[in-house]
Amino acid sequence: MQQLKGKKAVVSGGGSGIGYAIASKLSEIGVQTAIADIQPVSVQPALFAYQCDVSSGPAVDELFAQVQQQLGQPDILVCCAGRGIHEKLVEGDPEKWRQIIDVNIMGALRLVRAFVPGMLASGGGHVVFLSSVAAQQAFPYGGVYAATKAALEVVAETLRQEVLPTIRVTVVAPGVTDTAFFENTVSGFHTAADIGYGALSPDNVADAVLFALQQPEGVSVNRITIRPNSQPF
């Protein structure tokens, strides 16, 4: 972990769940960490906290300005902000679908556009995208969510090719994880428990992110899939 000490990080969706677990672990090992979240957050004093709706261009611009002023140029960007939706394609609400696209895809793109140029200018950095096993597995009622995660992985691979060898890019794709994600879906009714495969903890996923971040210079871990043992896809 020594190679990460003293670095600076921004974690979107860092106010709860997987994002908060990642931010907390980074802070514990000496990374100056800023979290950005749509809801005001009460967090440990070591974390810089910013309110930001990543689906809004002006909000991301303001986040960038605040981070630059208070923290400086980040070395690590973790795009974790995301929302779920559980609707049938022939019955769902396209305006709700737009909300998911704006957060899950456009939010990550806005963060990349804001923060990655500075990483290139400084000569290094690491971008982590939180995807999902749904990116590679279509399932009924999950089409819009799965499509956003599949698109996010294309964005990640495109970014990797555009910024190599200066910046490392990692996708972490968790299976079912026990967070408030299911409670905050735009439409849906599932919980981690009723899916029936067991569930990861946010710390399990955060440990996978740290594994990628702590690799020695010159080594890139580009994709990690992590699931409960019983999850078949």
Q: What's the mean pLDDT in 33-53?
A: 85
pTM for the whole structure: 0.95
Q: What's the mean pLDDT in 191-218?
A: 91
Say which of 20, 50, 145, 197 is annotated catalytic: 145
145 is catalytic: yes
Tokens matching residue 189: 């009714």
- Residues 169, 130 contacting (CB under 8 angstroms): no
pLDDT tens digits, one per residue of 7-18: 999 999 999 999
Residue 6 has pLDDT above 90, yes or no: yes
Please identify, in words, the CATH class of the domain defined by 2-226.
Answer: alpha beta
Residue 51 has pLDDT above 80, yes or no: yes
| CA–CA separation, 26 and 180 (whole Å) | 21
Q: Which long-range contacts (CB under 8 A, 24 or more apart) does 161-166 make?
A: 163/116, 163/119, 163/120, 166/119, 166/120, 166/123, 166/124, 166/125
